[in-house]
Amino acid sequence: MKCSFQDYLSSYRKRGLELLEKTGPVTGKYPRSVATTWSLNFDQVERISTAAADLLRFSALLSPDKIPLELVIFGAPELGHALSKVLAKFEVDRLTLNEVLEPLTRYSLIRLNLEPEGLESQTYNIHRLMQLVLKEGMDEAIHHQWSERAVRAVNRAFPIAEFSKWRYCEQLLPHAQVCAALIEKENLKFPEATQLLNRTGNYLYERARFGEAEPLYKEALEICRAALGEDHTEFATSLNNLARLYAAMGRYGEAEPLYSHAAAIRRLILGENHPDFAQSLHNLAELYRYVGNYARAKPLYHRAVEIRGLTLGQGHPDLAQSLHGLAELYRAMGNYTAAEPLYRQALDIRRTSLVPQPS
- Average the pLDDT over 13-19 and give the result: 64
Confirm whether pTM is higher than 0.75.
Answer: yes
State the chain's mean pLDDT as an integer: 91
- Average the pLDDT over 98-104 and give the result: 93
Which of these, 304, 284, 279, lies nearest to 295 by C-alpha position? 284
pLDDT tens-digit profile of 34-51?
Answer: 666 677 788 889 999 999
pLDDT tens-digit profile of 228-260?
Answer: 999 999 999 999 999 999 999 999 999 999 999
- Is the pLDDT confidence value at 30 over 50? no
- Is the pLDDT confidence value at 359 over 50? no
- Is the pLDDT confidence value at 155 over 60? yes
Give the per-residue pLDDT at 173: 98
* Phi, psi of 346, rounded to the nearest 5 degrees: -60, -40
Give the per-residue pLDDT at 117: 63
- Is the pLDDT confidence value at 28 over 80? no
- Average the pLDDT over 123-131 and give the result: 92
Gyration radius of the chain over CA positions: 26
- Is the pLDDT confidence value at 136 over 70? yes
Give the per-residue pLDDT at 94: 85
- Is the pLDDT confidence value at 355 over 70? no
Question: 113: which strand partners?
Answer: 123
pLDDT tens-digit profile of 296-349?
Answer: 999 999 999 999 999 999 999 999 999 999 999 999 999 999 999 999 999 999
Which residue has better confidence, 23 or 355? 355
Lowest mean pLDDT among 85-99, 118-132, 243-257: 118-132
- Average the pLDDT over 219-231 and give the result: 95
Give the per-residue pLDDT at 2: 62
Give the per-residue pLDDT at 32: 53
Amino acid at 89: K
Query: DSSP characters for 232-252?
Result: SHHHHHHHHHHHHHHHHTT-H
Which residue has better confidence, 175 or 5? 175
Give the per-residue pLDDT at 147: 98
| Ramachandran quadrant class, 250 (left: phi over 0; alpha: psi -120 to 50; beta: rest) | left
- Is the pLDDT confidence value at 151 over 70? yes
- Average the pLDDT over 80-87 and give the result: 95
Which residue has better confidence, 32 or 40? 40
- 38 within 8 A of 104, measured Cβ to Cβ: no
Lowest mean pLDDT among 40-49, 147-156, 281-290: 40-49
By percentage, how much of the chain surpasses pLDDT 70? 88
- Average the pLDDT over 13-29 and give the result: 58
What is the C-alpha to C-alpha distance for residues 296 and 311, in angstroms, rounded to an integer?
Answer: 23
- Is the pLDDT confidence value at 6 over 90? no
- Average the pLDDT over 191-209 and give the result: 97
The end-to-end CA distance of the chain, in Å, is: 71
Which residue has better confidence, 71 or 5? 71
What domains are defined for the chain?
A: 35-137 (1.10.10)
Number of H helices, E strands in the chain: 18, 3
* 100-104 long-range contacts, CB within 8 A, separation 24+: 100/49, 100/51, 100/52, 100/55, 100/72, 101/52, 101/55, 102/52, 103/44, 103/45, 103/48, 103/49, 103/52, 104/45, 104/52, 104/55, 104/56
CA distances, 254 to each of 88, 172, 247 (Å): 46, 30, 8
- Is the pLDDT confidence value at 152 over 60? yes
